[in-house]
Copies of this chain bind each other. A is one copy, B any other.
């Protein structure tokens, strides 16, 4: 289900429309083109990206169109009648090859290849980048957080600090990356993901006494209550009152689910809290923690022996702190069956020409070993080259390999089955287990090697030699 149900064709940068119009008036509107989607830098100074957002993207592309009201607006913005008339019946009819959602991806890999008429490929650039960059950023963050949480509970609590309606996508991506549930009811409804929540300080404050607030909540929710214990004083009031209520629930045949710590030192308070609960024979009562958590804080809490059974992670998860944006780009690599190159003032902004696919080579244990960027027509190759420093090579021998980029949309029709975010996470878990640990470190992770085939390398070098012909 999509939030953006109307005016979909306007979800684009204005220059896409002015360029599309210029192609239209140049008589080039039927020229074919191929664009690559790739990123250049792993977020969070990490070693990988969890690719996410594909299904939302395909869904919106299948609805991408212009209403009469939209066209009237574009006329006022300066576009011309004949082109607006062309947009009236516009639909995206291109073909898309993509990695699976939930796949582990690395810098410079063409995760997605879009083939179609130049105009349709241009008009979808912004929405493609907007959807994929953000969901991949958040799925990667969630995966990092999951990697230190192990099999404890991990809930997304971020909607109130999310970047506006981006919070809807953030919650979906959080589940793909490894969260168990979200507090975000809208996302739960939209995407069919589990919802969860505890209680707020306002509930406790609105009663004369903390114990009254706890009792009342437990009475209405005898089997699902988690009590927030830091409104007045965690150790002197919150936890003792929670213990009282847990004992009262026991007498009625129910069990308090847990308590939540939301301020103070979570390592210290969780250890003290665990002791107090255990001393009261309440070892089944769980301790949940929240308050500005991220993968580094949780790792540190683990190292200090914190007794926390579940984490609510908010702001840092849903905003992808401290990267904020995946630097994914969408670049023309072929036009009318001729490969294209962009050189730029910065070497690392150079593109790889031609229609390409991504192939993953596995070692004998089935672990990820190297990725290759090959021309689509290439099959088995023996060697890959560093994309910028071609004296660095890797022999591939007869390693097992998988072609990661597969057709997911043809003539504008979605060709893959819809999956829930939890199902996509199941795939990620399998893949994450195949990624060697040295790429998962938070500090200076080992760089996963991605190379290009000799054909890709030669094509780039030939084009570079001929670049002066483009210039004048």
List A residues at the B interface (Cβ < 8 Å).
3-7, 10-19, 21-22, 25-26, 28, 31, 33, 35, 70, 73-74, 77-78, 118, 122, 125-126, 129-131, 133-135, 157, 159-170, 183-186, 188-190, 195-203, 205-206, 208-211, 216-217, 220-221, 224, 230-234, 236-237, 240-241, 262-265, 269, 315, 319-322, 324-327, 331-332, 335, 340-346, 349, 467, 469-472
Q: Which of B10, B186, B262 contacts A10 (CB 8 A)?
A: B186
B11–A202 CB distance below 8 A: no
B209–A159 CB distance below 8 A: no
A332–B201 CB distance below 8 A: yes
A332–B205 CB distance below 8 A: yes
Q: Which of B185, B332, B469 contacts A202 (CB 8 A)?
A: B332
A206 touching B340 in the complex, CB below 8 Å, given contacts A185-B17, A221-B18 = yes
User: Which residues of chain B are within 8 angstroms of A471 by Cβ–Cβ distance?
Assistant: 209-210, 232-233, 236-237, 241
A63 to chain B, nearest CB (A): 14
Q: Which of B19, B184, B188, B324 contacts A324 (CB 8 A)?
A: B324
A344–B231 CB distance below 8 A: yes
The residue on B at minimum CB distance from A165 is B165
B472–A211 CB distance below 8 A: yes
A377 to chain B, nearest CB (A): 22
B162–A134 CB distance below 8 A: yes
A230–B344 CB distance below 8 A: yes
Which one of A157, A165, A199 has the highest number of Cβ atoms from chain B below 10 Å of its Cβ?
A165
5 contacts between A and B (CB under 8 A): A14-B197, A73-B189, A122-B202, A264-B346, A315-B324
A209 touching B472 in the complex, CB below 8 Å, given contacts A18-B197, A185-B17, A231-B343 = yes
B331–A325 CB distance below 8 A: no
Q: Which of B15, B209, B264 contacts A345 (CB 8 A)?
A: B264
User: Which residues of chain B are within 8 angstroms of A340 by Cβ–Cβ distance?
Assistant: 205-206
Which one of A170, A231, A325 has the highest number of Cβ atoms from chain B below 10 Å of its Cβ?
A325
A213 to chain B, nearest CB (A): 9
A416 to B362, CA, bound (A): 63
6 tightest Cβ-Cβ pairs between the two chains A and B: A264-B345, A166-B166, A15-B197, A163-B166, A237-B471, A164-B169
Q: Which of B13, B201, B335, B342 contacts A185 (CB 8 A)?
A: B13
B203–A7 CB distance below 8 A: no
A232–B165 CB distance below 8 A: no
Q: Which of B157, B164, B331 contacts A131 (CB 8 A)?
A: B164
B22–A221 CB distance below 8 A: yes
A220 touching B165 in the complex, CB below 8 Å, given contacts A13-B197, A73-B189, A77-B195 = no
The residue on B at minimum CB distance from A196 is B14
User: Which residues of chain B are within 8 angstroms of A22 by Cβ–Cβ distance?
Assistant: 203, 216-217, 220-221
B342–A231 CB distance below 8 A: yes
A325–B319 CB distance below 8 A: yes
Which one of A135, A164, A210 has the highest number of Cβ atoms from chain B below 10 Å of its Cβ?
A164
A210–B470 CB distance below 8 A: yes
A10 to B171, CA, bound (A): 14
Q: Which of B11, B15, B164, B232 contacts A200 (CB 8 A)?
A: B15
User: Which residues of chain B are within 8 angstroms of A13 by Cβ–Cβ distance?
Assistant: 157, 159-160, 183-185, 197
User: Which residues of chain B are within 8 angstroms of A185 by Cβ–Cβ distance?
Assistant: 10-14, 17, 74, 77
A160 touching B10 in the complex, CB below 8 Å, given contacts A209-B472, A324-B319 = no
User: Which residues of chain B are within 8 angstroms of A162 by Cβ–Cβ distance?
Assistant: 130, 134, 163, 166, 325
Additional pairs, 13, CB under 8 Å, beyond known A77-B195, A165-B165: A10-B186, A14-B185, A18-B197, A19-B200, A26-B216, A73-B189, A130-B161, A133-B160, A161-B326, A201-B342, A202-B331, A232-B470, A263-B346
Which one of A19, A133, A190, A205 has the highest number of Cβ atoms from chain B below 10 Å of its Cβ?
A205
Q: Which of B241, B265, B320, B332 contacts A206 (CB 8 A)?
A: B332
